[in-house]
Amino acid sequence: MSSDFHFSLRVYYEDTDLAGIVYYANYLKFMERARTEWLRTAGFEQSELKTQQQMVFAVRQLTIDYLKPAVFDDWLTVSVQLAKCGKASLVLTQTIMRNNELLCTATVKLACVHSITLRPCPFPIPLLEELQKHG
């Protein structure tokens, strides 16, 4: 699991608003996709974590700073960096870039919760060990 992961994507027309810029909530979708791919490259599929370990991630807190707009057809790079890892939560910093231009930054706190009870629970040991290597 890389401590600095990058995921690239293209902005489609459907991602934009009437003004032709990326709708603010879609930046959150882009970050979610990057987090999913970050876990996937480390060998952890969220669907398997849910079915086999009965755990899912829940966004507990998110702070986002929109600096410059992205527009239709932009090629964006979304980063994921592990800032802090606990036994049942983690803090990530994420950025969205267009070439070398910073468009957006965010700090995301994720909680590990039981998929049925939705109560906090510890990370499965293999996932926790992988996270702790980089946290």
d(CA 35, CA 38): 5
Residue 74 is among the residues annotated as catalytic for this protein:
no
Selecting among 17, 65, 73, 74, the annotated active-site residue is 17
Output the CA torsion sign for 42, 113, 87, 5. positive
CB neighbour list of residue 89: distance below 8 Å, 6 or more residues apart: 60, 109, 110, 111, 112, 120
Estimate to the nearest angstrom the gap between the alpha carbon of 108 and the chain centroid.
8
CB 67 within 8 A of CB 104: yes
Q: Which residues are catalytic?
A: 17
